[in-house]
Structures are given as C-alpha cells and as structure tokens.
A and B are shown apart, each in its own frame.
Chain A
Amino acid sequence: MVKRLLAGDRRSAARLITLVENEMDDHHKVMSLVYPHTGQAMILGITGAGGAGKSTLTDHLIGKFREQGKKVGVVVVDPSSPFSGGAFLGDRIRLQSHSQDDGVYIRSMASRGYLGGLSRATYDVIRIMEAMGNEVVIVETLGAGQDEIDIIHIAHTCLLIVTPGMGDDIQAMKAGIMEIADIIVLNKADLDGANTSLRHLQGALTAGSFEEGEWMPCVVSTVSAANKPEDLQGIDELASAIAEHQTYLRKTRAIDRVKYNRVEQELGLIFKDELQKIIFKGLKGTGKKREYIESIIEQRNDPYSVVEEVLNTYLLPGE
C-alpha cells in the first residue's frame, strides 16, 4: 500500500490515514516506511476561532497554490464531542470548488479528545500527505497556543485568523501574537471596526521586541467570503506574505530550527504517551497501581513522591 501511496494513489492515502488515526495494526511499521519520503513539503497551519473564515481562506489559498502547479493536501480538524466522542465534520462544504481537482486531497479529522485540537496522529497524517506527492500541506484547526499539541509546533508557517470587533485581536495580543503566528490575517475586513482592529494588531507588533533578522509577524487584511468575485480582497497579498515567510525560513536557515522544534515536540509526545503506557502497565502488573493510588487518596503519600519512587525504582537505578 505504501508503494501505491508514493505513486499518488488516493485510496491508499485514505486507508493509511485511517490506519494511523485509529492506531491500528502496524501503524508504527507503516510510518517508518513512509518517513523517508517526507520532509519536502511546505506545511501551512491555519488557526482561529470558529466563524473567522478559516475554511473560505483555505479554499482560496488552495486555488493559489494550484495556479502555481503545486499539488495540495489539506487536513481539516474539528472538535470531537467530549460527551459522545462523535464529531460533525462540515468544513468540506466550504472547499467545494476543489472537489474534483485530482491535484487536491482533502481529509477531515476529528480532534478525538486532544484539547489543542490536534491529535498526535496529525503528524503522521501530514507525512502521509507529503509522501503522496503534495508539495503543500495545509492544516486547518480551531484554537491556538493552548497546548503542546498545537499548530505552531506542526506547521512551518502559521496563520492566525482574527475578525474585527470580536475581541480576537485583543485576545491575540494578550496571548502574545508573536508567539502564536507568523502571519495574522484580519478577515472580514469589510466589517465595522476593521480599521481599529488593524491598528491594535499593528500596534502590538511594533511594541514587541525582535532581534535583528528575525521574522516580524505581519498583518494582512482579507475578505474571504464574498458572494461576488469582485468583493474578494487580500488573497494575493496573503499568498505573497506566505511566500515571503517561506523564503525567510530558507534564507536564514530558520527552517532548520523549525524542523528541530517539530521533531523535538513530536518525540516528546510519543515518549510521554508510550512511557505512560509502559509504566501504568507495569504497575498494574505488579498490583502496585491500585496501592499507590489508594495511598495518595488516604493522604499517606502524594503524587510527586510516588512518581519519584517509581522512577528511582524502575528507570533511574542508582541515582
């Protein structure tokens, strides 16, 4: 199946994505076969509050990349219901114009319980899309900068979409836009308050401190959801800004730092997950898990001491 994936077969890509999403069978083994064929695509992250217009912007950007002859993969992430575990994945509706384009592959994913909106599997899904032959992979998700699993660690270029008067601009400033995004997109710029929002955002940026040669986040105003083609605004500017950032990454070798961070993040996540599994399994096996937990509840012990004890016993002998 991996062979067919490398040849660009959609069905194989779809099946492999299901495999890794559900952590089925030998997904580890499969990914190790896929891995050598990755690393060459531009990964673009698009994030922002619901209703900000992410999908309509994605729709236009896909068009721009296709004009350049690039094949595009898109992962659209929506939240899973914390109650039922199910999800309503309706973003494809806004990506209709590319539904028959063989050079575009769109996949919807549910966050499946990950707070930041992205599961560990997202890394693998992106790799599968890269191996399939997509030169650009767009990852669209809700929320930003809230968790270690989030878009800024996955993407090379990160777009934060805000809209006027929703307070997003203030929130963004509070959270420190510089830490969140490479490009801030003020969408629905035809609404009241757009100018004020723009000023706030630009003000916050100039107030920040940047080292010589470092990328300073820029603000692009757009109007993405227009009934009439003539009302569309800012898409070309946005595409240029993205291209500029990509150039910056390559020229200054900042891309290396980005890649390093990505891998470090991912390794950390995998270690966390796997180690937790191993430790809990081991403790359960020796019957110690229940013992420890009850001792904590009965105030005979506390969580930190337990962890220290376990680690000293099993992982760090002699320390």
Chain B
Amino acid sequence: MKQTHAPTAETTSQGDWDDYIKAYYEKPASFKSWSGYDLKEIYTPEDRPGENYKKNSADAGTYPYTRGIHANMFRGRLWTKREVVGIGSPADTHARLKYLSQQGGSGLNTIADVTYEMGLDADHPWAIDEVGLTGVNITSIKDMETLTKDIPLDKVSWSLITASTAASVTMAQYVAVAQDAGYDVGILRGSIQNDPIHFRYCGFRPACPLDLSIKLGSDVMEYCTRNMPKWYYTTVNMYDLREQGITAPQEVAFGFGIAMCYIDELIRRGLDIDEFAPRFTFYVSCHVDIFEEVAKIRAARRMWARLMKEKYGAKNPRSMQFRFAVHTAGCSLVPQQPYNNMIRIAYEALAAVLGGVQSLHCCSYDEPMCLPTEKAHLQALRTQQILAYETGVTNVADPLGGSYYVESLTDKIEEESLKVMNQVEEVGGMEEAIRTEWLDRQFESEAVKRQKELDKGEKLMVGVNVFTTEQEKTTPLGVQKISSSSAKQQVAEVKELKRTRDMDRLNDAIKRLQDDANDGKNLIPAMIEATKALGTTGELLGTVREVFGYPYDPMESIESPFNF
C-alpha cells in the first residue's frame, strides 16, 4: 500500500508542479498502529461502555497505576535526564560524564563495551581489537576507580549498564570502590541493568548460559536487596527485545516473561515478594508511533500491578508499581538524512514523557552511524531539556488519560500482550521458550516482516523509501573517534597489573570464590573480595564458570591461570 502520492526529491527539484498539486490532496495510505492494529477514524464514549475507572485506571499513584506510579508525577520530581555514556577508556568516559552533568544531565549512566559484557579482560586475544569501541571495559578495580574518580558516590545516582553475567562483577567492582572510598553501601543510589537472560538475544550467548544467568543475576538482586536499599538491582531490558523488530505487545509480554524467571528464583531463595519487588525496574523502548507507545506503557503498568498482586500476592504498593527507564528506539533511526533522526528522537522522548517515564535516555542522532560526539550527545540532552522546560508536558499527570482513543488502545495492547503471554505458556513457559529457541524464531520472523514492510512501502520512512536523496558524504556533527592509544594503554595497564599484583592474596580470594560457588552461596561478597585483591573480570567470571561446568573462557581461547 503506497502513498497516493509521494514525490521524490528529484521530481520536485525539476519543478514538477503536477506532483506538488497532487501532494495537496494526499491521504495517508494506512490506518494501522505501528504494531499493526486497525484504528478507527475517531473514538468516542461509545468505545468505552461500562468503563470502570477505579478498577482499570484509578488516579496516578493508585492501584493499578495505569495513569502513573506517583500521584503528582513530574511535579514531584522530573524524570532523570540520564544519557548513556561509554567511549574508549574509563578516563574518556569519565570526561564525557563530567561534561554532560555540567550541561544539565541529572543522572550518571555508563555502558559496558562488547568485550566487558562478554566477560573478557582488555588483554584477552578477542578483546584487544575491540576494547572501547562501543562502551567502556572495566577489567579491574583500577578501571572502576578511574571511572568514578572525584565523583561523590554518596550523592549521585549512577546507572551501570552491564547486562550480562558480567554485571555481577560490575556490582562487585562498584561496591569495592565505594567501600575503599569510605562510603556505606547502604546509602548508594543508582541501578545496574543486570539482565543476562535477555542478553542471550543480543549476541552474548557464550557469556550467558541460562542457568548461570539466573544464578548470577539473582545473586546481584539478592545482595542488593539485603545490603543496598536505595539501589535498583535490575532493569529488565525489553528495549533490546523490541530492537529485534517485534511489536509493542510482544515487547511487554516477553519482558515480563523474563522478569518472572528472576522473580521465581528469588522467591525460591526465600525472599518475600515485598522485600525485593519495590526495587525491580524495566528498560522500555519508545518507538515513533507516539500514541501506541503511551498506550503500551499504560498497559504495562496495569498488567504489572495485577501480576504482582494476583500472581505473587504482593501487598506493598511499591511492589506493584511499574518503574521504568526509556531508551528511545535505536532501530527507528537511519543514517540517511541524519538530521531527521533528531526529530524522530524528539517524538519518541515525548511519548516517553507522556507515558510517565522515571528516567530517559535520548539517542543521539548519529546512533545508526557511530558513537556520539560531544555535540551530538549534548543535542540529545537538549532534546530532553526542551521537553522538560518548554512544552508544558510536565504540568499534569497522565495527560492522555481519558482520551477515548488512548484508553481503547491501552486496552488493546493489554489484550494482545496477554495473548502473547499465553502463547509462551503454551510452549511450556519462558525458560522452555528460550531453550527450544521458540523465542529466536519469533524475533527472526518479525524482523523479516519489518523489512518487507519497508521494501514494499507498507511502512514509510523518510529518506529510506520516500523522499530519498543522494547519500551524504559527511556526518553533520562530526565523527567520534575512539582513541586506539587509549585502548593500547588500557591493555598495557592490565598486563602490568597482572604482573605486579600480590598473587598470594589473589589466590586466596579466588579460592574463596570457588568454594562459595561450589557451596551454592551468593557470590557477590567473594567477588568484592577478589576485586579488592586485584582479580579481573575474566578471572572472576571464569572461575565461576568452571564450577558450573562451562569453559573458563566464553570464547574458549584461553585457560584459567589458577590451578587449585
């Protein structure tokens, strides 16, 4: 289904007035939401027969929290403007963090690179080529010290984006640094993504075997629940799932499915739902169909509240509140006509805010091309600031609530999402869906569908299948160079650390980690100790892996240096 008329740049530049006149009478070709649901011309009270406000919506801050988790939403506190940062070395990342916080950013947010997420030290044969290209690698406590240098950890809120089993080490490294600096971990505020199960779908299967993912993910969750009451120990990542090309209801359904794997494990360990659920958070996408995304978020809030109350018997209101951060959809952006991305990102940020987000990362416009330059990063932050300070969307909680359309769409997304959750049950539950690769097949078939929609013109994208222009030769706000000398230096420092550290102390710590793993204990304390003894990411994870029967090295190219 094509546009009835979609002039290309070439025609109009030749002064074809015919096209111009046709464009005046243009109609949209499709009346479906992004996820494919038919929409009516207009929604009226008739679409809401028997509406039960108290049961299905209620005010913001009241169960089932459809309209928001706080009664006053942004009047009480603006969402955190938390731009993701991760470039090159810990020192480079630290500099960018400082820059953004001076420009008005209100939350620190650092992301691991592929080598760190895979659990490799910077000097690992597979890591050497790629250290620092997509984020930061923290091999030892020294790197974490550099990253956090001079930053008052007792006052800031820090989001650590390590998703894989390496998150256990990240947590240990952060705690170790905080403790060495004299902070009481009980007052630390922030979050750690810690969602290794979903990371299997981001290319990290070697680092995230299912059983180890549940084990280490839950160890972090349990440790934080008991020791760090102000810390959010997981941000279950449905954003990455959505990036695979799935629909909005699938995003919620699969995200909840993965969340339940962790929840069930924590309950199995003897924790009470109300003990830990208040600190359980999510990472959600905002794609470019504004209304569908708002409806999705509202549906997720309602579904989560009911899930916690009815399935898990939660009593604490905070357990039933769907707390989430948003990352605007990377897959909605394209390199063609790059400035367009700023507009898409602005709309997506709007959806996030209209949806009542707690913490927001806006992509920078160069997301489909490279890591952001300072300018690009700043522009993303400004996008948030204009939204927060100029548009007035912060004045009222759930401003779209009550719209006949948005309420209908919220119900629709909830309905479809529950259907998908049933599908997962029919396949045997989430773990089974993962093991049998049923989930992989969903992602693969949806991804092909999305591409075909673009190829056939069923979904339109400016610069891709309509209004296309010659490929640009330059990137408007410059290209961020990742310093290869930074990487080389980090590798050299890692080698030096391994050469000069106290091996007796380290061996003792590694032995303890091994013992704790064999005894089924929570491994974070041992990891903290080993980190302070200058044990590295690869060494800590490798030791645990071996106890669980896996090769020391996820890439199976190096052996454990320890020989007990």
Contact = CB atoms under 8 A, between A and B. Distances in A.
Interface of A: 227-231
A231 B551 CA distance: 13
Contacts of A228: 548-550
B544 to A, nearest CB: 13
B200 to A, nearest CB: 12
B525 interface: no
10 contacts: A227-B209, A227-B549, A227-B550, A228-B548, A228-B549, A228-B550, A229-B549, A229-B551, A230-B549, A231-B549
Nearest to B210: A227
Nearest to B550: A228
Most buried by B among A228, A229, A230: A228
A228 to B, nearest CB: 3
A256 to B, nearest CB: 44
A228 B209 CA distance: 10
A-B pairs with lowest CB-CB distance, top 4: A228-B549, A227-B209, A230-B549, A228-B550
Contacts of B550: 227-228
Contacts of A227: 209, 549-550
Nearest to B212: A227
Interface in B532-564: 548-551
Contacts of A230: 549
A229 B549 CA distance: 7
A228 B548 CA distance: 8
Interface residues of B, number: 5
Nearest to A229: B549
A227 B551 CA distance: 9
Interface of A, helix, strand, loop or mixed by DSSP: helix
A228 B211 CA distance: 11
Given A228-B550, A229-B549, 8 more contacts: A227-B209, A227-B549, A227-B550, A228-B548, A228-B549, A229-B551, A230-B549, A231-B549
A230 B550 CA distance: 9
Contacts of A231: 549
B197 to A, nearest CB: 15
Nearest to A230: B549
A74 to B, nearest CB: 21
A231 B548 CA distance: 11
Contacts of B549: 227-231
A231 B550 CA distance: 10
Contacts of B551: 229
Interface string B427-440: 00000000000000
Contacts of B548: 228
Nearest to B437: A51
Most buried by A among B548, B549, B551: B549
A230 B549 CA distance: 7
Most buried by B among A227, A230, A231: A227
A303 B143 CA distance: 81
Nearest to A231: B549
A230 B551 CA distance: 11
Nearest to A226: B549
A233 B551 CA distance: 18
Nearest to B556: A97
B542 to A, nearest CB: 14
A16 to B, nearest CB: 34
B214 to A, nearest CB: 13
A229 B556 CA distance: 12
A60 to B, nearest CB: 16
A230 B547 CA distance: 12
Nearest to B211: A227
A138 to B, nearest CB: 23
Interface in B268-296: none
A9 to B, nearest CB: 29
A58 B139 CA distance: 38
A259 B549 CA distance: 45
A188 B183 CA distance: 51
A229 B548 CA distance: 11
Contacts of A229: 549, 551
Nearest to B205: A227
Nearest to A227: B209
B509 to A, nearest CB: 25
A182 B433 CA distance: 34
B284 to A, nearest CB: 30
Nearest to A97: B556
A233 to B, nearest CB: 14
A231 B549 CA distance: 9
A231 B211 CA distance: 14
B517 to A, nearest CB: 14
Nearest to A228: B549
Contacts of B209: 227
Nearest to B548: A228
A95 to B, nearest CB: 15
Nearest to B206: A227
B324 to A, nearest CB: 32
A228 B550 CA distance: 5
A174 B265 CA distance: 44
B272 to A, nearest CB: 32
A42 B82 CA distance: 63
A14 B383 CA distance: 55
A230 B548 CA distance: 10
A228 B551 CA distance: 8
A228 B206 CA distance: 11
Interface string B99-122: 000000000000000000000000
Interface in B286-340: none
A25 B548 CA distance: 56
A237 to B, nearest CB: 21
